[in-house]
Chain A
Amino acid sequence: MFTQQLINGLTLGGVYALIALGYTMVYGILELINFAHGEIYMLGAYLGIIFLGFFTAIGLTSYSLPLALILTFILSVIFCSSYGFTIEKIAYKPLRNAPRLSPLISAIGVSIFLQNYVMLTQGATDKIFPHLFEKAGIELMGTRVTYTQIFIIAASAILMLSLNLFITKTRMGKAMRAVAQDKVMASLVGININTVISATFIIGSGLAAVAGLMVAAYYGLVNYSIGYIAGIKAFTAAVLGGIGSVPGAMFGGILLGLIESFSAAYISSEYKDAYAFIILIIILFIKPSGLFGKTQEEKV
């Protein structure tokens, strides 16, 4: 039972962490809570179904399943990243110097638009994600772990490690950290702020696309409203870890997944969604800036 819940928790937590990274990176750079981010995750799930359906129709899936899956992942990531890039250009960039509430309202507008756009084009009923691995898996310490779970945990871990390397080692990664710390100074050393902001949206949306695809494969069902609750949960994870902090989002996501899965198993599954928020409230009472967050200095 314990191992089973641990695996379930890590699976769920990896997904939350991937989505939370998008929230936290955008917040770190623009101090904007991108409420449309959950919808990017939902688009990722839909695009997965569409591309996989297409590859099945042309016979690629039966020819080589791994190839079809890889192509589906790549295409979904490219599409979602383009969505993220375009949303920033259309809905946030014109409001860069507006009062802080304006881009927030714009974000909610984008979120509503995307939900309805998918509902109209794809229908309001649940879509079924093709069963690829059936229930195949391995035995681990007396519990059954499916290949999908192994894949999700491994993929989340690899993506988070790569993101960490990208942010600490590359030129663009350093530029992102510089922009998050001081935008004026960043432009004085020659960084194009707009390029960095676009890169942030592209990376965050790509991670959300992967999360969406993996969850669709895990649960097998997708509908136009899944972005809402996943978005709220991932946002909670980002706040839990300290919004703006990349390691915080990773840790917060995994912690949230574990809390949900253990409390559902050991306490009661009826209030599964409530535990995450109870923990959030407790942590914000003790440390208002989140686990990894820096306490903001009062600016005089």
Chain B
Amino acid sequence: MLELNDIRTFYGPIEALKGITLKINQGEIVCLIGNNGAGKSTTLMAISGILKPKAGTISFIGSDISDMPPHSIVEMGISHVPEGRRIFPKLTVKENLEIGAYSRHRDHRLKARMIKAYDLFPVLKEREKQLGGTLSGGEQQMLAISRALMSDPKLLLLDEPSLGLAPIIVSRIFKAIQEINKEGVTILLVEQNAHAALNLSSRGYVLENGRIRMHGQGKDLLNSEEVKKAYLGE
């Protein structure tokens, strides 16, 4: 479904991604793990078109999206929940959801999708008229995921959805991710919480200094001595 082929990106003179090659199949949950600065978020930014790769290609369902502007990539069916959630603080919860469907404004199933978002996280319905900036961290994460789903994506990119949240909220979010995946949305998950991420995923990639260090089945990586030592703290 999504293929990255030898992607290289730069922040000024610094090479952030030094040739990333990865592949995600339809229906999978794939996770990217690695330390701070390994290039996980940068990889997602390159996929959604915010950072243009200097070299390499990104193809999605057979089309080359490397040179597409971000808004066209959303139209193609990729939705990105960025690090830090980035809720529009001065739009209401409802407006945040509506703006999530910006690229699908001719679609009549908008109302149905709004109801589905409220079903997934009922607390959002209660907060409907509140400004996004007034929500708690967990509620903001729920809103960010729901907003991303409003464009009816085929592939959902999730960047650190558990960051800074209480364990009970984290398990709520992870459960929702599984539900979303069961409905047919492919998921690429970036996580610091390697243990939880690998448990949830069918496959995983380990990033180190802008390169892919290893990849494999989620279970195999969980049992790998190297991963245990470096990322699971065992």
Total number of residue pairs linking A and B with CB closer than 8 Å = 63
**Size band of the A side of the interface?**
10 to 19
Is the pair A190, B98 in contact by a Cβ cutoff of 8 Å? no
Looking at the assembled complex, report how far the CB atom of B64 sits from the nearest CB atom of chain A, in whole angstroms: 19
Q: Note all chain A residues with C-beta closer than 8 A to B70.
A: 187-188, 190
Across the two chains, which residue of chain B brings its CB closest to A191?
A: B102
Residue in contact with A187 in the complex, picked from B71, B89, B98, CB distance below 8 Å: B71
B72-93 to A contact mask, C-beta < 8 Å, 1/0: 0011000110100010111100
Looking at the assembled complex, report how far the CB atom of A243 sits from the nearest CB atom of chain B, in whole angstroms: 16
Is the pair B103, A190 in contact by a Cβ cutoff of 8 Å? yes
Looking at the assembled complex, report how far the CB atom of A96 sits from the nearest CB atom of chain B, in whole angstroms: 13
Give Cα distance in the complex from A186 to B88, angstroms: 9
Is the pair A190, B75 in contact by a Cβ cutoff of 8 Å? yes
Residue in contact with A181 in the complex, picked from B48, B74, B91, CB distance below 8 Å: B91
**How many chain-B residues does the 8 Å CB contact rule pick out?**
27
The A interface, classified by DSSP as helix, strand, loop or mixed, is helix
- A188-B80 contact, Cβ under 8 Å, with A171-B105, A175-B102, A182-B86: yes
Is the pair B99, A189 in contact by a Cβ cutoff of 8 Å? yes
Give Cα distance in the complex from A188 to B103, angstroms: 10
Is the pair B99, A187 in contact by a Cβ cutoff of 8 Å? no
B100 in the interface (beta carbon within 8 A): yes
Is the pair B88, A178 in contact by a Cβ cutoff of 8 Å? yes
A10-46 to B contact mask, C-beta < 8 Å, 1/0: 0000000000000000000000000000000000000
Give Cα distance in the complex from A188 to B75, angstroms: 10
Is the pair A181, B88 in contact by a Cβ cutoff of 8 Å? yes
Closest 6 CB pairs of A and B: A190-B103, A190-B74, A187-B70, A185-B86, A192-B71, A190-B102
Task: Please report B residues at the A interface, Cβ cutoff 8 Å.
Answer: 48-50, 69-71, 74-75, 79-80, 82, 86, 88-91, 95, 98-100, 102-105, 147-148, 151
